Amino acid sequence: MIMEVAGVIFDVKRFAVHDGPGIRTTVFFKGCPLRCRWCHNPESQRLRPEPMAGAGRRYCGFVGAEGDPNVVGRSVTVEAVMREVEKDVVFYDESGGGVTFSGGEPLQQPHFLRALLEACRERAIHTVVDTSGFAPWPHLAAIVELVDLFLFDLKLMDEVAHREYTGVSNQLIQENLRRLLDRGARVVLRVPLIPGITDTEANLAQLTPFIAGLPGVEAVHLLPYNPIGEDKYERLRKTNPLGRLQTQPDDALAAISARFSSLPTDVKIGG
């Protein structure tokens, strides 16, 4: 029974408008195989629930309601998630929205993700999977027919820099992206613009020809640096690996966006 499959999540955000088309409910999975130094959801990285000061204040809704207010993450069934998701079906229908599975890395819990996608498909709810792309191909292949849209991150093109700043190689990510496009998946690429790391001349100069060589990318979203995660490290008793960074000013974002203007696809700043 798919409704009894359980997994670990750390938040459910209703009325989200930056995680895919229309009005959406975003379900945040816990667990990620990457360790991006700029991660703005550091509470997502470990698969298990963990101590986080004031987690219950931030993570309200049904996720934190029954749990310890200083623990982030809890185990839930597909049935419990779908109960929350189905509250807003009328808004999805009116806005062209639906559900987004994000994280962390949702493919870190492949059976839970697939069961949720099946439950959404049975109810004709539009689905988005927001992924780093770092997962065994069979896990992606198992869900591709159930996903209406992938939001797929591209971070650093240089292999050595990718390893240094995320902890993993970018080869599997790039292979998976090509395979998804070959299978006809709808894909929006998302590029997190991290000051001095991913928004550099060297990285942008490699990103644009790489994207130009991919068939069928639906759009490219350039995501300005978001400092929202900086205070979370302290609450998790972790050290923020990068310290405080500044969001790019508008003129710098416009210059970065212009670098992508030759691509035969929509490019926008923001998600």
- Residues forming contacts to ligand SF4 in the complex (CB under 6 A) are 32, 34-36, 39, 41, 44-45, 103-105, 132
Tokens of 189: 């690429």
State the minimum distance, in angstroms, from the CB of residue 122 to ligand SF4: 28
Q: Which is nearer to ligand SF4, 55 or 125 (CB)?
A: 55
Q: Which is nearer to ligand SF4, 39 or 128 (CB)?
A: 39
- Give residue for tokens 């974002």: 253
Residue 28 gets which letter from DSSP?
E
User: Which backbone phi and psi does 23 adopt, to 5 degrees?
Assistant: -90, 130
Q: Which is nearer to ligand SF4, 100 or 263 (CB)?
A: 100
State the minimum distance, in angstroms, from the CB of residue 39 to ligand SF4: 3
SS3 category, 82: helix
State the minimum distance, in angstroms, from the CB of residue 194 to ligand SF4: 10
Q: Which is nearer to ligand SF4, 64 or 104 (CB)?
A: 104
State the minimum distance, in angstroms, from the CB of residue 30 to ligand SF4: 10
Q: How far apart are CA 192 and CA 39, in angstroms?
A: 10
Q: How far apart are CA 264 and CA 271, in angstroms?
A: 19
Distance of CA 45 to the CA centre of its chain: 12
For residue 147, count other CB atoms closer than 10 A to its CB: 22
Q: Which is nearer to ligand SF4, 28 or 260 (CB)?
A: 28
State the minimum distance, in angstroms, from the CB of residue 258 to ligand SF4: 26
